[in-house]
Amino acid sequence: MSDPIEIPARKTLYDPETKIWSGEKSELAFNPEDSIASVVLKKLLENPEHIGQVCYQSGNELTNLEIAKRTVQVAKYFEKLQFQQSDMIGLCAGNTDYIAPLVFGALAAGLCISTLDPSFDKAGIKHVYSLTKPRMMFCDGDLYERVREALDECDLGATKIYTMSNHVEGVPSIMEFFEDESVNPNDYRVQPLKDGVHQTAFIVCTSGTTGLPKGVCISHACFLSMNMSENGFKDQNFLCFSTLYWVSGLFTLIQGTIGCARRIISSKAFNVEDFFNIVERYKVNMTMGPPSQIALAVSSDKIGSVDLSSLTACMIGGSAVSHSLTEKFRKYATNAWCLVGYGSSETSGIAATASVPSNAVGKLVDNVEVKIIDDEGNALGPQESGEICVRTPLPWAGYFGNPTATKEKYDSERWIYTGDVGYFNEEGELFLVDRKCDIRKYNNFHFSPTDIENVISELPQVADVCVVGIPHSVHGFLPAACVIKRANSDIKESEIYQHVVERMQDFEYLRGGVYFVDDFPQTASGKTIRRKVTEMCERLWNEKNATN
């Protein structure tokens, strides 16, 4: 059995003059000019016989040497196709056998990868890739028709698609990239990044206050500077269901490889039965995922009969994590630490801690600075709530093709404005109070109330609408709509619900219900008080479900 991972003791420093909190200073583990691929290949070749990846569905195991060889095959094939550094490829696929070598090979060729989750429908795929415009696309075979139609509709008909799994007759597949068996990964040298510390490795999507996804650029340098460590997860069996649409999926793939873990992958989205089976079969030591997964595990009637004794660390993030939830889980996973993390796509990790009764999100990670500001931009001291602003050790690359949004989020002194409200206590622990913006998450997917409101407002019988998120212990928040009907309207709740279904993504469906009201609570200036509308919807939801 492998040794449990060590939980680092963190220390947050505070400068009372500048009112800036900071994590401890430490040397970056890697040269900021390094490519992620050069670091990964070095680690793979140092431990060639180590089993770096096991796929639950296929049962296939890949050694580090096999991953390294396929990585170089991919890189050289891109070179053969005359791809240039910073050319864009798209990836919309589950965690199947050859995702790792595709990603590492593309990074070795200096390409930029625009990722998306397989759950997105055609409209979502179309929107994202109309922004990033990939030169080549990779997806699972069962997504091929959806992706092809989406690309065609955004004038990307020339973009060639390769399948990653469930290959389609007549459609090229990833296997073409592996045809050159003469490749020796020990002879391959990753080329220097032409843009150095500024070169983008990934573009991941986030939601803005308008509800339209923005592409967050993550550079090689920023990713390697944040929490990466060599041999930190040595011989740990590491499970994460997240696809590479999520930063947690990217972290598991890259840090798991650099840290010498054995990554256990699943081509399917999270479900409790698979989670239990994988943990038992592979004696999983570490997991990473949102709190909804822990909630689903705790609510399962099978949890009492599952052996979770191998778990030593469960890393939880992406939305609020209650201490009561982690304590319920630890009754069954008695050897596990539940580690709560706070961060964002723009900043990566900011703070982390073992789950504590106070529900703090922890002390700052190394080399990160934070200040808390009021509405006028003034820095605040301990126990004073305001917007959390973060400065990371290296420059952030901004939003892809959107300098206006970047300027709103990122100032000339390299502070990133998170839109979250929080405060530090006297011990340097960070607490989250609320979201400054109204974005919520359902099943770890962002949804924008404004975006849903705009769709509902298309209905002529709707006079006004306010969409909120009803807190839910498993799913995070359930989208719900409070609607004021036009006079003499006979529109039904079901019609509004169905209209959203026809126009929007699954995670934006009004699972929290549709409620008709005469008016909304408003401020003196006539603005709807969304917090009070949330309370109304939550009460109506509870009343409705109490009678069912």
For the cut 80, the answer to whether the pLDDT of residue 546 exceeds it is no
Q: Which of 336, 253, 255, 240 shows the shortest CA–CA distance to 290?
A: 240
Owning domain of residue 236:
27-268
Q: What Rg value do the Cα atoms of the chain yield, rounded?
A: 24
CATH number of residue 260's parent domain? 3.40.50.12780
Task: Examine the domain organization and report whether 139 and 254 are in the same domain.
Answer: yes
Q: In what order do the strands lie in the sheet with 213-219?
A: 160-163, 136-139, 88-92, 112-116, 200-207, 213-219
For the stretch 179-225, pLDDT in tens is 999 999 999 999 999 999 999 999 998 753 334 578 999 999 999 88
Per-residue model confidence (pLDDT) at position 356: 72
Task: Examine the domain organization and report whether 468 and 377 are in the same domain.
Answer: no
Contact 85, 108 (CB under 8 A): no
Q: What is the rounded distance in angstroms from the CA atom of residue 392 to the CA atom of residue 343?
A: 11
For the stretch 302-348, pLDDT in tens is 999 999 999 999 998 877 677 778 888 999 999 999 988 888 888 87
Residue 130, judged by CB atoms within 10 A of its CB (0-12, 13-18, 19+), counts as middle
Contact 320, 286 (CB under 8 A): no
Give me the residues paired with residue 218 across strands: 202
Tell me how many degrees the CA angle 21-287-143 measures, rounded to the nearest 5.
110
For the stretch 54-85, pLDDT in tens is 999 999 999 999 999 999 999 999 999 999 99
Look at residue 193 and tell me if it is in a domain: yes
Q: What is the rounded distance in angstroms from the CA atom of residue 206 to the CA atom of residue 446?
A: 7
Task: Examine the domain organization and report whether 500 and 393 are in the same domain.
Answer: no
Task: Examine the domain organization and report whether 112 and 251 are in the same domain.
Answer: yes
Task: Examine the domain organization and report whether 50 and 118 are in the same domain.
Answer: yes
Contact 383, 371 (CB under 8 A): no
Q: Which amino acid is at 373?
A: I
Task: Examine the domain organization and report whether 426 and 506 are in the same domain.
Answer: no
Task: Examine the domain organization and report whether 240 and 310 are in the same domain.
Answer: no
Count the domains in the chain. 3
Task: Examine the domain organization and report whether 259 and 302 are in the same domain.
Answer: no
Task: Examine the domain organization and report whether 122 and 173 are in the same domain.
Answer: yes
Q: What is the rounded distance in angstroms from the CA atom of residue 151 to the CA atom of residue 122?
A: 9
Contact 480, 515 (CB under 8 A): yes
For the cut 80, the answer to whether the pLDDT of residue 176 exceeds it is yes
Last residue of a domain, one of 246, 268, 290: 268
Look at residue 4 and tell me if it is in a domain: no
Look at residue 119 and tell me if it is in a domain: yes
Q: Which amino acid is at 338?
A: C
Q: What is the rounded distance in angstroms from the CA atom of residue 66 to the CA atom of residue 64?
A: 5
- φ, ψ of residue 272 to 5 degrees: the values are -60, -40
Look at residue 548 and tell me if it is in a domain: no
Last residue of a domain, one of 383, 411, 437: 437
Give me the residues paired with residue 516 across strands: 483
CA dihedral 182, 186, 187, 189 (to 10 degrees): 120
Segment among 3-12, 274-283, 479-488 with least mean pLDDT? 3-12
Per-residue model confidence (pLDDT) at position 424: 95
Last residue of a domain, one of 382, 411, 437: 437
Q: How far is CA 260 from the centre of its chain?
A: 22
Per-residue model confidence (pLDDT) at position 497: 97
Look at residue 512 and tell me if it is in a domain: yes
For the cut 50, the answer to whether the pLDDT of residue 525 exceeds it is no
What mean pLDDT, rounded, does the chain reach? 90
For the stretch 421-471, pLDDT in tens is 889 999 999 988 766 667 788 998 988 887 898 889 888 888 788 899 999
C-beta atoms surrounding 495 within 10 Å = 13
Task: Examine the domain organization and report whether 307 and 365 are in the same domain.
Answer: yes
Look at residue 366 and tell me if it is in a domain: yes
Task: Examine the domain organization and report whether 97 and 231 are in the same domain.
Answer: yes
For the stretch 27-52, pLDDT in tens is 888 888 999 999 999 999 999 999 99
Task: Examine the domain organization and report whether 16 and 41 are in the same domain.
Answer: no
Per-residue model confidence (pLDDT) at position 133: 97
Look at residue 2 and tell me if it is in a domain: no
Dump the DSSP string for 442-481. Answer: ETTEEE-HHHHHHHHTTSTTEEEEEEEEEEETTTEEEEEE
Look at residue 419 and tell me if it is in a domain: yes
Tell me how many degrees the CA angle 168-146-130 measures, rounded to the nearest 5.
125
